[in-house]
Amino acid sequence: MLSFIICLLLLIGGYFVYGNFVNNIFSPDDRETPAVRINDGVDYVVMPQWKLFLIQLLNIAGLGPIFGALQGALWGPVVFLWITFGTIFAGGVHDFFSGMMSERNDGASISEVCGIYLGHLMQNVMRVFSVVLLVMVGTVFAVGPAGLIVTLFGNSGVSGLLTNKEFWLWIILAYYFIATFISIDKIIGKVYPLFGICLIIMALGVAFGIFTKPEYVIPEIWANFRNMHPSATPVWSFMFITVACGAISGFHATQSPLMARCMKSEKQGHFVFYGAMVCEGVIALIWAAAGCSLYEVTGGLNTGLAEIMKNGQSAAIYDVCKKTMGGIGIALAMLGVIACPITSGDTAFRSARLTLADWFKIDQKAWKNRLLLCVPLLGVGAIVGHMDYSIVWRYFSWTNQTLAMIVLWTASMYLYKAKKNYWITAVPATFMSAVSMTYFFCASECLNLGTAVAYPVGIVLAVVFLGIFIHATRKQQTA
């Protein structure tokens, strides 16, 4: 339990110490923000800082830091280290710069920001990456809740239309259309802060349950510094890919521009972007601790957690909430596993609309222009929603962390051009390059070449990427 408390204090301290350090390097000033200068009443709308923080938290989190953290707990308490240091030195930096670079470029989508600093080729790569990723996220976060709603009604003895998954899928997609189409302050600005608070309360309730029930003991990192995964899945780089939300996630870079278009002052960025990521890290740390402490360990392996997760991640969330909070926990779990994915799904489609709008230079103030993008986007979502879930999700993890890698390299080039300390982004960019490339060469859904090939190739490619970046900076110096 002591190691959990140390990691928790490091996360909180990281916001004030390293977060301030990163913020000072960026140097926010009093210039007029896009929300004030452009203010179109649709996507560029000034909102108060507390709302920006809670909406950003819900946008980047959903159930990500819960699902990922529980899966990460299969490796044992070593996952605490990745959540803690990943959040402070990689995730917080990534989210802060993806938001603030957008802020400095009229609230542009992350694909356009990458194009500004890494060139036209990378811009087109990121456009495709972003739209595909966002549609995948939005669709999966429609299909999953639809299935859960059907299960709930079925378990309650209800039959008929309310237990028809197709019916609920279309209901959720219809809601997505409305939320994607209308002004950001109409639904997202009013309802999402409430769900953000629920996400925090659910995590605090789990933490309280663990600390007040003597049968649950959070294992120490130093006593369990080994791979406890029942399937012997390697820590490197699988754990770093699996635990994305709660450490670092490329999906966040697609969401940060939403709030960059709603900030009254650049000085809100530290709290809104870095702060929301640290809060997500705290949530992930709590859920990882729950996964490590509530279930049976057999032969040094987390067999109990693996067994409960065979019934699905939602079943694991339900079980954790029930064990730590009782009836209240069950209610919160049901709210969480249904509402939180939906709230991430609709902002995913909203971000996809804005990415396409920036790509094809389609002004979004006119409702006809928004309709022009919303209809085909949700149409594609409906088609993808009827595909095999495993096929849709299979490549998400690698795509997600590769996007994070590209955004960190973008931030490095931004800092270089601004004549500022670019190592705060270049070091995590190099690390994430190693993570992404190792996984690509090793994972069964990718090249499946085994660790003997993937480990050295991943490290070499990360060094090559760093070399390319350094070469590009020197080339600009001599130009």
pLDDT of residue 390: 55
Average pLDDT rounded to a whole number, residues 225-239: 95
Q: What is the mean pLDDT of the chain?
A: 92
Q: What is the CATH classification number for the domain harbouring 39?
A: 1.20.1740.10
In a domain, 104, yes or no: yes
- Alpha-carbon distance of 229 to 245, in angstroms, equals 20
pLDDT of residue 478: 66
Average pLDDT rounded to a whole number, residues 289-298: 95
Average pLDDT rounded to a whole number, residues 275-292: 97
- pLDDT class of 153 with cuts at 50, 70, 90: confident
In a domain, 406, yes or no: no
In a domain, 183, yes or no: yes
Total domains present in the chain: 1
In a domain, 285, yes or no: yes
Print the domain residue range for 377: 2-400
pLDDT of residue 392: 57
pLDDT of residue 391: 56
- pLDDT class of 171 with cuts at 50, 70, 90: very high
pLDDT of residue 314: 74
In a domain, 167, yes or no: yes
- pLDDT class of 7 with cuts at 50, 70, 90: very high
In a domain, 471, yes or no: no
In a domain, 452, yes or no: no
pLDDT of residue 283: 95
Average pLDDT rounded to a whole number, residues 223-236: 95
In a domain, 269, yes or no: yes
